Amino acid sequence: MQLSSKQKEYWNHANCRWNIKSGATRSGKTYLDYYIIPRRIRAVRGKEGLVVILGNTKGTLQRNIIEPLQKIFTPALVSDIRSDNTAMLFGEKCYCLGADRENQVDRIRGASIKYCYGDEVVTWHEGVFHMLKSRLDKPYSCFDGTCNPESPNHWFYKFLQSDADIYLQNYILDDNPFLSREFVENLKKEYRGTVLYDRYILGKWALAEGLIYKEFADNPKKFMIAKEDLPKQFDYIGIGHDFGGNKSNHAFVATGISFDNHVYKLRARSIQATGMSFHALEKELIDFVEGIIGDYGYPSGVYCDSAEQTMINSYRQHTTYPIYNSIKRPINDRIRCTLLLMGGERYHIVEGECDDLVRGLTTAVWDSQVLEDKRLDNGSSDIDILDADEYSFEYYIYRLVGNYDA
């Protein structure tokens, strides 16, 4: 295997109780672990304690860890994660568990752990990590983990600054010599002007503050496209729909995705929610969808805020449109997707058709009153239109910008 100088340093010197690689995306952090994991497991073979792999969810573990290990070492040495959340890795039974919720790891609570690998540690529930600290209780117990930086207020950053027995490496994107220069420059361009550049390019634990879509707010015209310049055909058309409350608006946004994965905001509309009946809102939906059908074709789906099941069921009874619940991916994943699309010049807005959405994107800010990254929600219509926009394409986040591999 070929290793960078940073990876060789970790291989030779990461011998603490906690061994952590933090830093930029695609900087080579996780690749090295495909060889660290079998080395650690073989070192504790036959000793008392469990082998555990923790990640955001069982699905991300299968995708990020198990499948790459299988490609290198074959399924004979690395099995899929089974229904009981275990896999056989290099002759050892290994528990593979999601760590996004505290109760996910109840089956290993109270057990001794001889080796644990941690994927995407900053996405874990803090209680899972505190449980893990008390379970690595053997003299030979150790942990390897990776993470991309988040806010310096994050609980894991505070742990990294503690006096625990930690071997910590910090990576920047340029630490990976095996990436093409073109890819590196494109990635830098996509993250430029956002807090994500500091985190995922420079590997810094940086605060999210001020305008979220600063580059857009500085020059909205850069993202505008004339209707006559749109692609002749779209691979996908989705309509996002958010329901407003007493002081906010109902919102609709139609998005077209081209075959080359550019995103086009075809039309957006925000309507005062106060005093509007279900019947009146249903008529507004029908008018909006029929307008999109007339101009662009039949939508793949209308994706509605899943909190309003009564209204969604009414839509299904009184229309023939494919009506779906939004899946409500984490808001920050939706924001990150939008930022990457903007940075990569793949986010376009039809001029004159999306004024409410333009206002929402221009005014969106991070909440300065909380410790974690959070979009400020002041109950205004600007938030409703942003949610509707994100619902319209969130099913295709991974297709559009990948899985943010570490």
Say which CATH number the domain at 133 has.
3.40.50.300
Higher pLDDT, 331 or 269: 269
Residues 123 and 236 in one domain: no
Residues 361 and 266 in one domain: yes
Residues 9 and 150 in one domain: yes
Which region among 42-56, 282-296, 311-325, 390-404 has the lowest average model confidence (pLDDT)?
390-404
Q: How far apart are CA 49 and CA 193, in angstroms?
A: 47
State residue 401's pLDDT score. 81
Higher pLDDT, 283 or 371: 283
Residues 291 and 157 in one domain: no
- Taking residues 4-22, report their average pLDDT: 96
Residues 286 and 343 in one domain: yes
State residue 378's pLDDT score. 67
Residue 117 has pLDDT above 90, yes or no: yes
Picking from 153, 178, 203, the residue at the C-terminal end of a domain is 178
Residue 75 lies in a domain: yes
Two tokens at 219? 């020059």
- Taking residues 219-225, report their average pLDDT: 96
State residue 404's pLDDT score. 47
State residue 356's pLDDT score. 94
Residues 311 and 234 in one domain: yes
State residue 380's pLDDT score. 55
Residue 308 has pLDDT above 90, yes or no: no
Residue 199 has pLDDT above 70, yes or no: yes
Residue 104 has pLDDT above 90, yes or no: no
Residue 388 lies in a domain: yes
Residue 389 lies in a domain: yes
Residues 314 and 166 in one domain: no
Average pLDDT, the chain: 92
Residue 312 has pLDDT above 80, yes or no: yes
Residue 392 lies in a domain: yes
What pLDDT band is residue 361 in, cutting at 50, 70 and 90?
very high
Residues 174 and 287 in one domain: no
- Taking residues 292-304, report their average pLDDT: 95
State residue 240's pLDDT score. 96
Picking from 133, 160, 178, the residue at the C-terminal end of a domain is 178
What pLDDT band is residue 2 in, cutting at 50, 70 and 90?
confident
Residues 30 and 125 in one domain: yes
Residues 32 and 169 in one domain: yes
Residues 255 and 393 in one domain: yes
Residue 45 has pLDDT above 90, yes or no: yes
Residue 354 lies in a domain: yes
Residue 196 lies in a domain: no
- Taking residues 106-126, report their average pLDDT: 92
The count of domains in the chain is 2
Residue 23 lies in a domain: yes
Q: How far apart are CA 162 and CA 153, in angstroms?
A: 14
Which region among 75-79, 252-256, 309-313 has the lowest average model confidence (pLDDT)?
309-313
Residue 44 lies in a domain: yes
Residues 156 and 221 in one domain: no
Residue 343 domain boundaries: 214-401
Residue 245 has pLDDT above 80, yes or no: no
Here the CATH number for the domain that contains residue 356 is: 3.30.420.280
Which region among 76-85, 219-228, 237-246 has the lowest average model confidence (pLDDT)?
237-246
Residue 97 has pLDDT above 90, yes or no: yes
Three-state SS annotation for the chain: CCCCHHHHHHHHHCCCCEEEEEECCCCCHHHHHHHHHHHHHHHCCCCCCEEEEEECCHHHHHHHHHHHHHHHHCCCCECCCCCCCEEEECCEEEEEEECCCHHHHHHHCCCCEEEEEECCHHHCCHHHHHHHHHHCCCCCCEEEEEECCCCCCCHHHHHHCCCCCEEEEEECHHHCCCCCHHHHHHHHHHHCCCHHHHHHCCCCCCCCCCECCHHHHHCHHHHEECHHHCCCCCCEEEEEEECCCCCCEEEEEEEEECCCCCEEEEEEEEEECCCCCHHHHHHHHHHHHHHHHHHHCCCCEEEECCCCHHHHHHHHHHCCCCEEECCCCCHHHHHHHHHHHHHCCCEEEECCCCHHHHHHHHHCEECCCCCCCCECCCCCHHHHHHHHHHHCCHHHHHHHHCCCCC
- Taking residues 144-171, report their average pLDDT: 95
